[in-house]
Amino acid sequence: MMAMKRLLVEYKELSLRPPAGVAAGPAGDETNMLEWECVFLGPEGTPYDGGCFHSTLSFPKDYPLNPPVMRFTQPLWHPNVYPDGKVCISILHEPVEDKFGYEQSCERWSPVQSIEKIILSVISMLAEPNDESPANIDAAKMWRTDREAFDAKADECVRKSLGWA
């Protein structure tokens, strides 16, 4: 019940003041608030500029105590996106101590985070990948060593997102 109330409040806020270049809300109708769809326009001046990227947000029943899972539903060549589309950014990591010591607990999920903050973090991720902690090692390596090839693969994703490839 707590999750549904919180998600409804966040949905209303996002409907009134959506972040630029993003549309987000419950998938289908508002009967299942635990499954959302998001559409991101590729940030201007990035390799994803001009793309239209669809994703899902799946919320746990104990939201906001635990984070949702975000997954792009089409291929996205990016250091912080697993090959299956799952997004790997700190704000979406469970609120437990990082056993590798890479992230501080304040960087991970907490109940004060919001869907808007997730969306803004993903926009930032698209603009500036974190190649120090990659979900896609090949994309991170290419980002570091061959930006031209990386940009070409990202452009393929943009074209596919628009139905051009």
Q: What are the residue numbers of the active site?
A: 88
Helix (H, G, I), strand (E, B) or coil at 50: coil
* Three-point CA angle 41, 44, 46, nearest 5°: 100
Cα 3 → chain centroid: 20
Between helix 2-16 and helix 115-127 the angle, nearest 10°, is 60
E-state strands within 27-139: 35-41, 52-58, 69-72
CA 10, chain centre distance (Å): 17
**Pairing state between β 52-58 and 22-26:** unpaired
Phi, psi of 4 (to 5 degrees): -65, -45
